[in-house]
Structure 1
């Protein structure tokens, strides 16, 4: 018989009842060091007191009014995002998938608005993950994502990841947009080179195509900058944000320039829950903490320490690991063993990790993880690798 919860996940036999910072505590009381952070969501760890206070205060005031009315908490968070980024305007969603859907709609509406409704093709890249809606899976295009869900939304063309020659051949006067993750998460913690991102920006400017960045996983301080594209010194026209922005509370956003959003007038998009007072109160507190320069400097310092220790781990277990990749605290261990086996071995060491494509194990700890916790995490990974070596 089918389970009461639709069985679309291969769930681990673990259940957690509470958390403290970088630790998740199972129903049997076992403490697990969490290097997954809810898949890059809990940027300030579990039960962060600042976020608990922000949520509790807002919960005692008002939870939901809908977007039929002005929402002061939403306006506060939008102001923080606009002040810190390229954007002129923000639309709030509940998830990264919803953000991807709006980004696609915004691209198409832009070209309709400027009198080119035929300009609909969006170029995307192999290994991408933009969510699991019909539009998002059409954008990614992988067989794993799309099999059985056809016919797919037209208007997307997937290119080989990192192949600038293929992009230069594909982009042209009919291209509506280029959509790319500055660092692929599900695709295996694969950063695009800064020079390539600058070249993509230049190609978009030369052809008029919009540049859409998906920073759902790599944004909100994860790479040591507030957003990963800052390393390349470029700005997008549209950007999708989610995961870390709510620190664990469901929240996403689409950031855009005034020009890119020009077609999105009243009635063109909406959300019942998107940008509700609870989510935005938490999101504003996350922004106030994570966007601080001192906080980001600490992320980079701890990321360098973590990476150094992981390089030593790779050297100690050449039969298990191939190398370290990523930026900031968005790190991946390229594996010679199956990542699923390493995830399972890590459970035995009371450590939580996340598998990804390209034979990669993702390490996505809270951004405020301590040095001692980093050392403990690597020690537990070492013991997990020992079990595979054996």
Structure 2
């Protein structure tokens, strides 16, 4: 019973924290009750083996034929939202999906080009490449344009034996113009975890729609950021013969048992997203623009010329001598955000996101209050500012009703 009491205490502590948090972290979102329904399903106790393109009946489990129909439904939804002819939701996270793909698509000694952490790339990508024996170089980048230097990349593809290009951006204000890549036989793995929701309704951002169908392209992402779902890794492709090669290796080589209740929760989420996602994404980008204009008098907003962010993310530079005060104040007041020390932040900055507050229906009035709070966080803690911040926060956090859902 002692452990039960500890558990109850931990649960209560977390719930209190969660209820009083202002969620500005660009990497998190909130699921609807509808999306959560399958998470207690008995499906989590059942097995299915083999790939997602064809049901392998031999040596499979008795319920596999029933479960395979959910694979087929997810594939149908992937086609409708992303133009994918192959849709796989079996991996656990975006990074789990990427690691699985790198093991399936490449061999030890292959040379790849990857996105650097300095330009917003996910910090785990070079570590994973090293561990898998892949030789990598960083993709050239144009810091003024906040995008890759595609001319240099295409020259490298033509002049060298480049097996693959891996783009995975944790920090992204402007969707990369990946359609400018001239891939030839080079594999492109585009981890669009942060912007996967936006891509569903913008074919220009989607390599499966805006690039040649015979290219070896994988679009992947985690499904708990701009897609407000469970933690899954979603792997999609257009080139079905290339997808078949990958699919045969994913299972049974790297995945055996599947968390089918997570896959089912993802299906629920995507069906809901088909109904409400377009409106949700539009409002999210509008909120990004509104909040940016409200923050601009107080912060050094990072942007391309006069163009505001076109995603859910807002980045602003804070001097190294001041950033710790800001960040500690944010922690103290339960304002979730990220501190960054990357070159695209002028070596010291803050990342926030509008995806979760948009899901709560926040608009102009709430955004104005958020801008005021962030400005107050710059000042060292004192009784007056703490009272002012807490007063504003209490009005904001009591207004957490999930929108854009069944």
> What TM-score, normalized to structure 1?
0.70
RMSD of aligned alpha carbons? 3.6
Q: Counterparts of 1:348-387 in structure 2 under 5 Å?
A: 348-356=332-340, 357=342, 358=345, 359-364=348-353, 365-366=355-356, 367-370=358-361, 371=363, 372-387=365-380
User: Which residue does the alignment assign to 2:92?
Assistant: 94
Structure 1 pair 254–347 and aligned structure 2 pair: CA distance change class (3 A):
same
Deviation at 1:80, TM superposition (A): 1.1
Matched with 1:126 is 116
Confirm whether residue 310 of structure 1 aligns to residue 297 of structure 2: no
Quick one: distance in 2 between partners of 1:50 and 1:340? 39
The offset of 1:282, in angstroms, is: 1.2
2:23 and 2:336 in contact (8 A); partners too: yes
Q: Confirm or deny: 8 A CA contact 1:80 1:287 kept in the other structure.
A: yes
Structure 2 residue aligned with 1:145: none
Cα distance in 2, alignment partners of residues 16 and 346 from structure 1: 22
Superposed counterparts of 1:66-105, under 5 Å: 66-68=47-49, 69-70=64-65, 71=67, 72-91=69-88, 92-105=90-103
Larger Rg: 2
Matched, 1:171 2:157: yes
Q: Which ranges in structure 2 are unaligned for 5 or more consecutive residues?
A: 1-9, 50-63, 142-147, 386-406
Displacement, 1:215?
1.0
Separation in 2 of the partners of 1:301 and 1:80? 23
- The answer on whether the counterparts of 1:189 and 1:362 sit within 8 Å (CA) in structure 2 is no
Task: Please state which structure has a larger fraction of its residues in helix.
Answer: 2
Change (3 A) 1:34 1:269: same
The correspondence for 1:214, drawn from 180, 191, 202, is 191
Stretches of structure 1 lacking an aligned partner (at least 5 in a row):
1-14, 110-116, 140-149
1:131 shift after superposition: 6.6
| Corresponding residue SS for 1:332 | strand
Structure 2 residue 245 is matched with structure 1 residue 263? yes
SS at match of 2:21: strand
Aligned match for 1:229, one of 192, 205, 214: 205
C-alpha separation in 1, matches of 2:208 and 2:319: 31
The structure-2 alpha-carbon separation of the partners of 1:199 and 1:220, relative to structure 1 and needing over 3 Å to count, comes to same
Q: Which runs of 4+ in 1 moved over 6 A?
A: none
Match of 2:127 in 1: 137
Q: Identify the structure with the greater strand proportion.
A: 1
* Separation in structure 1 between the aligned mates of residue 81 and residue 200 of structure 2, nearest angstrom: 15
